[in-house]
């Protein structure tokens, strides 16, 4: 049973590694009247490079938090603060090798996300601040892969460079839609659905694609995903849209009954046998939010979906003249039809064998 739960959790993780907040604490905190901190300034020109990482120079951080983050790297779209403890934890060579892997893709990926949201965000986007925190010192690191904090206006990366490659573009979309955009996404369904849609469906996401999913998931999970119809042999990994449909279908059929998960409203939730559809949109898991977004875009148009990203979860159904239950029921039926058409089905048997 323990292992069954691990596999189930693994599937949830498949679509929610980028979950961005711990239980009871909104990941993307509400903006306050306090001035929004400006992006970290580029290092001074005279700063000496301490080493070269790919095309980029690591320099001494002479700005704020230099005791915790003694080094930094500046790219076109990002300012990286590198934690002293992470260098000690991983060892310099391993740390910088992981940094080099991600830096080779970061600007192209961030440029893609900006392009995908063109017209909805300003033309000029300042570099985003990114801090490493692989040591697990932050409490939030226990329940999330990465985190965009709108008050401090920075992204924190947790656990490992692998996790960073998986999560960073999703968090960057939060920065774009929550900090940079004039009309901001609202915490919950819209914030997460837009981040998933842009980072995993619209963008190539080179950082994430450079991972080896077969290695990351392991042979048992890969075999299960093949059997469920979500593994893409060309990609060498799970197809994101199919995974979202599959996970949504699994919730509807009760495979996740009583399994606790972090929902898009940034709290832990679980479904019950007598209530498998959530009561409102903020109780959806990340994969379900992506599936619902696809349904809304297919049914009502992409612009209608994106033009209303400032709506809270409980106002979305109203936009389409429906109650939340009517909307969730219609989407769930559509999701089941898609799975039927594409031959997608998560099986109890396949999970419980492990
Ligand atoms: Zn998120």
List the end-to-end C-alpha distance of the chain, in Å, as a whole number.
9
Establish if 133 belongs to a structural domain: yes
Residues of the chain with pLDDT under 70: 1-47, 137-144, 348-354
19 CA distance to ligand 1 centroid (A)? 5
44 CA distance to ligand 1 centroid (A)? 32
Residue at a domain's end among 157, 183, 209: 183
pLDDT in tens, 321-335: 999 999 999 999 999
Q: What is the pLDDT of residue 214?
A: 82
CB 82 within 8 A of CB 130: no
Q: What is the pLDDT of residue 46?
A: 57
pLDDT in tens, 221-270: 999 999 999 999 998 899 999 999 999 999 999 999 999 999 999 999 99
Total structural domains within the chain: 2
47 CA distance to ligand 1 centroid (A)? 34
Is residue 309 located within the same domain as residue 172?
no
Distances (CA, A) of 264 to 126, 259, 287, 292: 27, 15, 10, 12
Is residue 142 located within the same domain as residue 84?
yes
139 CA distance to ligand 1 centroid (A)? 17
Establish if 22 belongs to a structural domain: no
Exposure of 51 by Cβ count < 10 A (0-12 exposed, 13-18 middle, 19+ buried)? Answer: exposed
Q: What is the pLDDT of residue 141?
A: 55
Establish if 211 belongs to a structural domain: no
Give dist(CA 94, CA 170) in Å, integer: 24
Q: What is the pLDDT of residue 215?
A: 83
Single pTM value for the model: 0.86
Is residue 129 located within the same domain as residue 226?
no
């Amino acid at each position: 049973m323990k292992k069954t739960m691990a596999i189930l959790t693994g599937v949830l993780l498949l679509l929610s590694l980028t979950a961005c907040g711990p239980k009871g604490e909104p990941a993307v905190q509400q903006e306050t009247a306090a001035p929004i901190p400006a992006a970290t300034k580029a290092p001074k020109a005279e700063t000496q490079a301490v080493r070269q990482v790919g095309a980029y120079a690591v320099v001494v951080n002479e700005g704020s938090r230099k005791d915790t983050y003694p080094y930094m790297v500046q790219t076109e779209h990002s300012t990286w603060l590198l934690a002293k403890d992470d260098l000690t934890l991983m060892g310099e060579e391993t740390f910088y090798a992981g940094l080099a892997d991600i830096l080779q893709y970061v600007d192209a990926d961030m440029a893609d996300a900006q392009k995908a949201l063109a017209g909805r965000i300003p033309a000029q986007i300042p570099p985003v601040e990114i801090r490493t925190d692989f040591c697990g010192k932050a409490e939030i690191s226990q329940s999330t892969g990465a985190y965009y904090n709108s008050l401090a206006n920075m992204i924190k990366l947790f656990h490992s460079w692998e996790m960073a490659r998986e999560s960073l573009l999703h968090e960057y979309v939060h920065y774009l839609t929550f900090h940079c955009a004039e009309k901001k996404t609202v915490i919950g369904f819209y914030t997460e659905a837009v981040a998933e849609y842009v980072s995993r469906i619209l963008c190539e996401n080179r950082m994430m694609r450079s991972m080896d999913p077969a290695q990351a998931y392991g042979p048992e999970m890969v075999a299960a995903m093949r059997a469920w119809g979500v593994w893409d042999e060309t990609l060498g990994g799970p197809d994101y849209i199919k995974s979202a449909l599959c996970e949504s279908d699994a919730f509807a059929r009760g495979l996740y009954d009583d399994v606790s998960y972090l929902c898009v409203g940034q709290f832990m939730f679980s479904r019950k046998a007598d209530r498998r559809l959530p009561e409102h949109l903020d109780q959806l898991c990340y994969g379900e939010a992506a599936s619902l977004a696809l349904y809304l875009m297919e049914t009502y148009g992409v612009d209608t979906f994106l033009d209303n990203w400032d709506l809270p979860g409980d106002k979305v159904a109203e936009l389409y003249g429906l109650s939340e239950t009517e909307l969730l029921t219609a989407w769930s039926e559509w999701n089941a039809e898609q799975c039927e058409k594409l031959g997608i089905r998560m099986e109890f048997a396949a999970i419980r064998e492990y």
